[in-house]
């Protein structure tokens, strides 16, 4: 029996099609719920400001996703999505197995009744088209679930940024970023400076960046030991007032400060590529 209650049998292929349709619909609803959770959590992280992301993935504007669940539901949702994909894959593999058996039967029947082969081949092609469409959908959905950055990181120009909610000294900030498999942020372009500055202005926080001259006074180097080339100092800075060897980001530019000062901090690391749909 392909599917259904005892004493009832679906026509050939209908049971599998219904199973695929039910699984596809369920996974679509689970994905929408996960989108909602992630969007609402992102909104909370930025103090209630709704933001629209410009990358492919689950994290999108929460304007179109009212009535979100809480972040606590996310692990369960992801587990259900994983189980749903597993069931969908098993159903697809069962279909492939049936098609293989059907092809073997067609080979045997061809010798006995060649006139029936064309009808059987059309049916097999239809089944193969259905499986191909399902695999295409699965690939596109998995691509949509991909996040180029870890949870609570921001994406900008193929890099991920983590904005701390706690304060550390400059050296402690370096260690904190290393623990996150990243480094204290290195600013390489005007666009990147504008991106970080907009976040800094929005939150009105001083933040450490990965620049200092504590090894050699006046010789500014990044945490990867590359020399400073492009700079965005505030007017009159750096002034080395009171042994200020580490650099913090202000809303209006860079300032040198004592490395023992506790500031917020920004980590940076490359984003992970997401597969295309």
pTM of this prediction? 0.56
Task: Give the tens place of pLDDT for each residue, 165-208.
Answer: 999 999 999 999 999 999 999 999 999 999 998 887 777 789 99
Q: Alpha-carbon distance 75 to 234, whole Å?
A: 44
CA–CA distances in Å: residue 62 to residues 34, 45, 55, 91, 205: 12, 13, 15, 34, 25
**Of 264, 269, 212, the residue nearest 243 (C-alpha):** 212
pLDDT bin (cut points 50, 70, 90) of residue 55 is: very low
Task: Give the tens place of pLDDT for each residue, 103-142.
Answer: 666 666 665 665 555 656 666 677 677 767 766 766 666 6
Q: Alpha-carbon distance 269 to 149, whole Å?
A: 9
- DSSP string of 110-163, one letter each residue: HHH-GGGHHHHHHHHHHHHHHHHHHHHHHHHHHHHH--SS-TT-EEETTEEEEE
């Amino acid at each position: 029996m392909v599917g259904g209650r005892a004493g009832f049998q679906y026509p050939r292929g209908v049971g599998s099609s219904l199973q695929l349709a039910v699984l596809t619909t369920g996974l679509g609803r689970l994905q929408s719920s996960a989108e909602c959770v992630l969007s609402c959590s992102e909104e909370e992280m930025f103090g209630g400001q709704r933001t629209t992301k410009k990358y492919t993935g689950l994290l999108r504007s929460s304007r179109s996703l009212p009535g979100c669940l809480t972040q606590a539901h996310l692990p369960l949702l992801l587990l259900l999505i994983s189980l749903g994909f597993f069931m969908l894959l098993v159903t697809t593999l069962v279909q492939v197995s049936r098609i293989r058996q059907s092809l073997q039967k067609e080979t045997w029947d061809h010798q006995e009744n060649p006139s029936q082969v064309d009808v059987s081949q059309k049916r097999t092609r239809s089944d193969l088209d259905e499986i191909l469409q399902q695999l295409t959908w699965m690939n596109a959905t998995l691509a949509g679930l991909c996040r180029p950055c870890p949870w609570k990181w921001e994406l900008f120009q193929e890099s991920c940024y983590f904005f701390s909610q706690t304060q550390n000294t400059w050296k402690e900030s370096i260690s904190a970023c290393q623990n996150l498999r990243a480094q204290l942020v290195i600013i390489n372009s005007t666009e990147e400076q504008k991106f970080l500055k907009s976040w800094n202005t929005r939150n009105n926080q001083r933040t450490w960046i990965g620049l200092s001259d504590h090894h050699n006074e006046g010789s500014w180097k990044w945490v990867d030991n590359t020399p400073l080339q492009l700079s965005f100092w505030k007017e009159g800075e750096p002034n080395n007032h009171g042994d200020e060897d580490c650099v913090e980001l202000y809303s209006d530019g860079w300032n040198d400060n004592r490395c023992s000062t506790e500031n917020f901090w920004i980590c940076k690391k490359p984003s992970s590529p997401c597969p295309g749909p």
